[in-house]
Amino acid sequence: MFQRLPHVIRERFIVQVDGHPVDAYEGETILSALLSGKGFVRHFEFRSERRAGFCLMGACQDCWLWHVSGERVRACTERVTPGMRLATSQPGGTR
Amino acid sequence: MSSDGPIVIIGAGPAGISAAKTLAGAGERPLVIDENACPGGQIFRRPPPAFARSETQLYGFDASRARRLKSTFEAIAPSIEYQAETFVWSIEDRRLHLSTAGTLKSISFGRILLATGAMDRIIPIQGWTAPGAFSLGAAQIALKAQANFIGRRVVFIGTGPLLYLVAYQYAKAGANVIAVLDSSRPFSKIMALPALLTDISNLSRGLFYVGQLLLRGVKVQTAIAPIEIVTSDRGVTGIRYEQGAQQRQLDCDAVAIGYGLKAETQLADLLGLSFHFDRHQRQWLPVTDGAGRTSVPHVYIAGDGAAVRGSEVAEWEGELAALSLLEDMGRGAQKRAAVLRGRIDSLSPFRRALDEHLFPLPHQFAVAISDQTTICRCEGITAGQIRETVATMGEADINRIKSFSRLGMGRCQGRVCSAAACELIAATACVDISVPGRLRGQAPLKPISLSVLAGGGR
């Protein structure tokens, strides 16, 4: 789990991940919010395995998840917005 | 080839900014394209304004350089074009294909200067795909750009100066740093290396970081070999390693892994540059003339994307490559170029001492990776599968191994795994490390959704 630095004060809001509320702060990436609240970003396609990204700089491509509408989103480069609804498995997919 | 069209710089780190300043100073109006939201590159990443951390908190000894680069960029901003959050996903026929937040655009260019930087070099170990295991660069980005620690109890493992720097930055910001585990034994060698005295300020900084870590009670162990990252189904719970004949285990919930840096060369590859295998850095690097020119006319390169030499040298190289570009346009500044070459050369003994003696790449670790360890994170290909492919097919070319095994075929195109995979292939096939070659870059260099490609945007 990520740990937020205590002295940094920002505006807090909620994003929905797999239908559950997760705390997020203004300026955070989706990855930061998910790893601070949920501890992982997605389920690996080929095995039962949780993934949480690796490089945080848009190189490893291991932190892609989904908007509930079905579009893919890379968690380490996309910022959270209030009311965002995300899914750690492909919406409508088998896993 | 014609050189009509704008001058494009790829990357707004130290090398790219310095090149842009030089070109703007000569009356050119370069277009600077950068993946990040703010200029500064990976080294001078900054958080969104809401985070309110000072430059001194963020960059320590480098704060004044961070401020200088930032004010340089602000000063030249009116004289350049700048496209942030934009990546080049393909290059063909002197056209760049760009993606900015899901919007695609193509532009033609006359000359191009690559300042694409570097990323961590990783040697996989069992458990490295679990939540809580990150690259060393990731640990630093979490702190600098997001004011996060990657965990509550963090272990830093690998080798290189960055290992100590990031551990120190974590400790200073209040993180619980459990240990720094270095595969090298730098402290036994410092005194025996007069080359280190050629850059006293960098040497003393390094010693300062180590001293601060020790003062804060952080365990610093050298000459270690990793065994595995211990995990539960939720993520990292510890790390096992060897030191001498002793096996040790530490509890932690996050591990940062880094064995120095590797140049980001996918664009250089798409542009058709010649590469050579650099024995000192043990990686394939674009061939240059030592002043930023490449094997392809009108294509220039500077900074860690040309060869990993650090951000100070990157700044000089950016200026030097820009001067070469101007000279090729018939506007020489040879005196200044000679000064820059002198400066860059003066630091090369230091860099060589770091790479070869203080923090040598423990490539033998890649050879010792257990069969069940994942090498290719994207496709879930294990060391055992790679060994088997090499043995059954009698192949040692990484591109052939890729087509047989799917190694490096995933979304990252082998950025993360190819360095270790080459070591593994070479060792299994009993051939020199240069024989596996390098994975060919392919467009799109990073994923783009089909709806965007089809023109739908989002």
CB contact (8 A) between residue B412 and residue A62:
yes
| CATH, residue B110 | 3.50.50.60
Whether A26 and chain B come into contact, CB under 8 Å, resolves to yes
pLDDT reading at B166 higher than 90: yes
- Domain identity same for B233 and B270: no
Closest to B438 (Cα-Cα) out of B412, B411, B416, B418: B418
**How many independent structural domains does chain B possess?**
3
Residues 28-47 of A with CB under 8 A from B: 28-29, 32, 35-36, 39-41, 44, 46-47
Query: Is residue A65 domain-resident?
Result: yes
- Domain identity same for B146 and B236: yes
- Domain identity same for B305 and B216: no
Query: Is residue B377 domain-resident?
Result: yes
- Domain identity same for B112 and B166: no
What's residue B58's pLDDT? 83
Whether A61 and chain B come into contact, CB under 8 Å, resolves to yes
Query: Is residue B396 domain-resident?
Result: yes
Which residues in chain B are closer than 8 Å to A80, comparing Cβ atoms? none
**Per-residue pLDDT tens digits for B236-257:** 999 999 999 999 999 999 999 9
Q: Average pLDDT for residues B133-144, to the nearest whole number?
A: 96
Which residues in chain A are closer than 8 Å to B145, comparing Cβ atoms? 56
Above 0.90 for ipTM, yes or no?
A: yes
Q: Residue B113 — pLDDT band, cuts 50, 70, 90?
A: very high
Whether A23 and chain B come into contact, CB under 8 Å, resolves to no
Query: Is residue A91 domain-resident?
Result: no
pLDDT reading at B301 higher than 90: yes
What's residue B43's pLDDT? 87
Query: Is residue A62 domain-resident?
Result: yes
Query: Is residue B350 domain-resident?
Result: no
Structural domain harbouring A49: 12-77
| CATH, residue B410 | 1.10.10.1100
pLDDT reading at A95 higher than 60: no
Structural domain harbouring B37: 7-119+262-330
- Domain identity same for B98 and B192: no
> In this predicted model, which residue has the larger pLDDT, B56 or B319?
B319
Residue pairs spanning A and B at CB distance below 8 A: 137
What's residue B458's pLDDT? 43
- Fill in the amino acid letter for B155: V
What's residue A8's pLDDT? 66
Query: Is residue B436 domain-resident?
Result: no
3-state secondary structure chain B: CCCCCCEEEECCCHHHHHHHHHHHHCCCCCEEECCCCCCCCCCCCCCCHHHCCCHHHHHHHHHHHHHHHHHHHHHHHHHCEEECCEEEEEEECCEEEEEECCEEEEEECCEEEECCCEEECCCCCECCCCCCEEEHHHHHHHHHHHCEECCCCEEEEEECHHHHHHHHHHHHCCCCEEEEEECCCHHHCHHHCHHHHHHHHHHHHHHHHHHHHHHCCCEEECCEEEEEEEEECCEEEEEEEEECCEEEEEECCEEEEEECEEECCHHHHHCCCCEEEECCCCEEEECCCCCCECCCCCEEECHHHCCCCCHHHHHHHHHHHHHHHHHHCCCCCHHHHHHHHHHHHHCHHHHHHHHHHHCCCCCHHHHHCCCCCEEECCCCEEHHHHHHHHHHHCCCCHHHHHHHHCCCCCCCCCCCCHHHHHHHHHHHHCCCCCCCCCCCCCCCCCCCCHHHHCCCCC
Of A29, A46, A52, which has the smallest distance from its Cβ to B132's Cβ?
A: A52
pLDDT reading at B192 higher than 80: no
Which residues in chain B are closer than 8 Å to A49, comparing Cβ atoms? 129-130
Q: Average pLDDT for residues B94-113, to the nearest whole number?
A: 93
pLDDT reading at A94 higher than 70: no
Query: Is residue A83 domain-resident?
Result: no
Shortest CA gap B447–chain A (Å): 8
Of B42, B135, B447, which has the smallest distance from its Cβ to A61's Cβ?
A: B447
Interface test with A, best of B53, B140, B148 (most A CBs within 10 A): B148
Provide the percentage of residues in chain A whose pLDDT is more than 70.
Answer: 94
Shortest CA gap A44–chain B (Å): 9
CB contact (8 A) between residue B134 and residue A57:
no
Burial class (CB in 10 A: 0-12, 13-18, 19+), A47: exposed
**Per-residue pLDDT tens digits for B377-401:** 999 999 999 999 999 999 999 999 9
- Domain identity same for B142 and B29: no
Shortest CA gap A65–chain B (Å): 13
Q: Residue B457 — pLDDT band, cuts 50, 70, 90?
A: very low
**B60 phi, psi to nearest 5 deg:** 55, -125
Looking at B330, B353, B380, the residue that finishes a domain is: B330
Query: Is residue A64 domain-resident?
Result: yes
Q: Residue B2 — pLDDT band, cuts 50, 70, 90?
A: low
Q: Average pLDDT for residues B447-452, to the nearest whole number?
A: 75
Which residues in chain B are closer than 8 Å to A59, comparing Cβ atoms? 119, 264, 412, 415-416
Query: Is residue B128 domain-resident?
Result: yes
- pLDDT, chain B, mean: 93
Q: Residue B455 — pLDDT band, cuts 50, 70, 90?
A: low
Of B147, B151, B411, which has the smallest distance from its Cβ to A8's Cβ?
A: B147
CB contact (8 A) between residue A2 and residue B51:
no
What's residue B46's pLDDT? 81
- Domain identity same for B79 and B200: no
**A20 phi, psi to nearest 5 deg:** -110, 145
Q: Residue A6 — pLDDT band, cuts 50, 70, 90?
A: confident
Contact A76, A65 (CB under 8 A): no
Of B142, B152, B379, which has the smallest distance from its Cβ to A56's Cβ?
A: B142
Strands B95-100 vs B86-92: parallel, antiparallel or unpaired: antiparallel
Q: Average pLDDT for residues B406-413, to the nearest whole number?
A: 91
Query: Is residue A82 domain-resident?
Result: no
**Per-residue pLDDT tens digits for B86-97:** 999 999 888 999
What is the C-alpha separation between B43 and B315, in angstroms, rounded? 12
Query: Is residue B401 domain-resident?
Result: yes
**Per-residue pLDDT tens digits for B425-438:** 999 999 999 999 99
Q: Which of B39-48, B264-273, B311-320 has the lowest mean pLDDT?
A: B39-48
Of B119, B147, B173, which has the smallest distance from its Cβ to A57's Cβ?
A: B119
**Per-residue pLDDT tens digits for A24-56:** 999 999 999 999 999 999 999 888 899 999 999
Of A8, A52, A72, which has the smallest distance from its Cβ to B449's Cβ?
A: A72
Query: Is residue B339 domain-resident?
Result: no
Query: Is residue A43 domain-resident?
Result: yes
Query: Is residue B55 domain-resident?
Result: yes
**How many independent structural domains does chain A possess?**
1
Which residues in chain B are closer than 8 Å to A79, comparing Cβ atoms? 48
Contact B77, B85 (CB under 8 A): no
Query: Is residue A23 domain-resident?
Result: yes
Predicted TM-score (pTM) of the model is: 0.95
pLDDT reading at A92 higher than 90: no
